[in-house]
Amino acid sequence: MRHGEQTLAPAFQFTSDGSSRPGLRPLIATLIADGIDGWQLWTWLTSPSSLLSGEVPHEVARTQPERALRAARRFAAPNAS
């Protein structure tokens, strides 16, 4: 996400050593491919989702990455062109 001249990335997206969380890559790629980006993308990843019985997508991705990915696909489907 851009803010002025800087690119910002939320901390939840990274592991303790600064590398990107592998379980989030497919979710982010799916959402971006279907036209969801910026604040909408980050809001969905960090908010309770009815597609995950009220759980938060980025937290579900830690233990159940396939379930989180299915939810991302369902969330993005209405936006797919």
Per the structure, the count of domains in the chain is 1
List, for residues 22-67, the tens digit of each pLDDT value: 888 899 999 999 999 888 998 999 999 999 999 999 999 999 999 9
With respect to residue 35, please indicate whether it lies within any of the assigned structural domains: yes
CA distances in angstroms from 16 to 13, 21, 44, 60, 76, listed in the order given: 10, 9, 22, 18, 29
Token pair, residue 64, equals 């159940």
pTM for the model stands at 0.78
Is 8 inside a domain boundary?
no
Q: Is 16 within the bounds of a domain?
A: no
The domain in which residue 35 lies consists of 21-79
Answer whether residue 45 is part of any domain: yes
Report yes or no on 51 lying in a domain: yes
26 domain residue, yes or no:
yes
pLDDT digits (tens, 9 = 90+) for 16-28: 777 777 888 899 9
Any domain includes 10? no
C-alpha closest to that of 52 among 27, 24, 74: 74
